[in-house]
Amino acid sequence: MVLDYLVLQLANYVIPATILVILALGLDLQWGKTGLFNAGVAAFFGVGAYTFAMLTTGFFPASGTYPGHWGPSVPFDLVPATLVAMAVAGALGVLVAVPTLRLRADYLAIATLALAEIVRLILKNERRVTGGDTAISLIPRPFDAFVARGWTSDGVLMLVVAAVAVVILVITERLTALPWGRSLKAVREDEEAAQALGKDTFRLKLTSFGIGCAIMGLAGALYASFVGSLVPDSFTSRLTFTAFVVVILGGSGNPRGVILGAYVFSLLGWATQQERGNVASISEVLSLRLDYVNNIVVGILLVLFILYRPEGMIPEKRYVPKKK
C-alpha cells in the first residue's frame, strides 16, 4: 500500500511535469531559438491529443448518452497513432504559418491566437466527430495489455514519458547545434542581416514552426494517454500562458533551462494540491481559493524574473566560433 501511494504521488507530479517539458521544448524551438511568437500552443496540443484519442479508441457510434466520435474501424496502435498526431499538429502549424510568416511577426501571433479558439470551439461543437463536451474516454496507455491500471501503469507511463522527453531533448539539441540551428538564431537576432547573407529566412522559420508544432502534438498525445479522457475546455489559453511562463522562468533558448522551469512550475502546482487538505482544516474559504493564490505566486515570480533575471534560471549559452 505504501509503495502504491508513493508511486501514485510521484507519477502525479513527474508525468504532467515531463509532458510540460516536451510542450515547452516545442515552444522554445519556435520562440526561444527563432523568435516566432506562437500564441496558439493550446491548439496544437489539443489537436495532437484528440487525434491520438480518436485513432486509438476507434469509431464510436452515437447512443442515447454519447454523441459518438470519429475514428478508424480498427483502432491504431499507440506508436503509429502518436506519429500521426505529430504529423497532423505539424501540418496544421505549417498551414497557419505559410500565409503569415512573410508578414510582420504580429500577424503570426494574431493568427495562432485565433486558431486556438477556433480549434477549441470545433472540438466542443462538432459533437459527432469529437464527442463534444461528453469526454472521449478509455484512451489506452502503453503496455495496457500487460500492465493493469494502477500504480504499475503509472510507473510504466512515467518511464515512457521520461524516455520520450530525453529523445526530444537530444533531437532538439542536435538540430540546433547544426548550421540550421545557428541560422535560426541569426533569424531571431536580425532577420534582415540573415537575408543579406543569403539565408532563406522564410524556409527556416517555416521548418522551425512546423517541427515545434509537431512536438506540441506529441505532448498532447502523451497527455491524452495519461488522463484517459478528454474534454475541449482542457485546451484553453491558460495552457499557452503556462508554456510561455515555463520558457521564461527556465531560460529562453536553453533546453536545459526549459526543463528546470517546467519542473519548478509543476512543483508549485503539485504542492498546492498536496496542501489543499491541510489548508481546508484551517480555512475552507482559503482552500477553495488556493489555486488563485498559486496563480498570484506564479505571477509575482514571473514579474521578478522579467525585471531582475530576464535570461531565466539557466541562460542560453552564447555561440563562440572556434578559431582555426
What is residue 222's predicted lDDT score, i.e. its pLDDT?
97
CB atoms within 10 A of CB 133: 13
Domain residue ranges of the chain, discontinuous segments joined by +: 2-234
Residue 251: phi and psi, rounded to 5, are: 135, 100
What is residue 279's predicted lDDT score, i.e. its pLDDT?
61
What is residue 1's predicted lDDT score, i.e. its pLDDT?
63
What is residue 278's predicted lDDT score, i.e. its pLDDT?
62
What is residue 188's predicted lDDT score, i.e. its pLDDT?
92
What is residue 259's predicted lDDT score, i.e. its pLDDT?
95
What is residue 121's predicted lDDT score, i.e. its pLDDT?
95
Whose cell is 491520438? That residue is 52
CB atoms within 10 A of CB 20: 25
What is residue 114's predicted lDDT score, i.e. its pLDDT?
93
CB atoms within 10 A of CB 211: 20
Helix 255-282 to helix 151-177 angle (10° resolution) is 150
Q: Where are the beta strands (DSSP E) in 111-249?
A: none
Distance between CA 304 and CA 165 in Å, rounded?
29
* Run means of pLDDT, 10 residues per run, the chain, 324 residues: 75 94 96 94 97 95 87 93 97 94 83 94 92 90 75 87 96 92 92 91 95 97 95 92 94 92 91 69 66 84 89 81 62
What is residue 281's predicted lDDT score, i.e. its pLDDT?
58
Task: Read off the C-alpha cell for 92.
Answer: 496544421
What is residue 285's predicted lDDT score, i.e. its pLDDT?
62
Can you name the residues that pair with 60 across neighbouring β-strands? 69
* Residue 322 backbone zone (phi > 0: left; psi -120 to 50: alpha; other: beta): beta
Nearest to 201 by CA among 10, 5, 34, 28: 34
What is residue 284's predicted lDDT score, i.e. its pLDDT?
67
CB of 242 closer than 8 Å to CB of 302: no
Nearest to 32 by CA among 200, 193, 201, 209: 209
Distance between CA 323 and CA 317 in Å, rounded?
18
Alpha helices for 126-150 (secondary structure H): 127-130
Nearest to 75 by CA among 91, 93, 49, 57: 57
Residue 320: phi and psi, rounded to 5, are: -120, 110
What is residue 269's predicted lDDT score, i.e. its pLDDT?
84
What is residue 320's predicted lDDT score, i.e. its pLDDT?
64
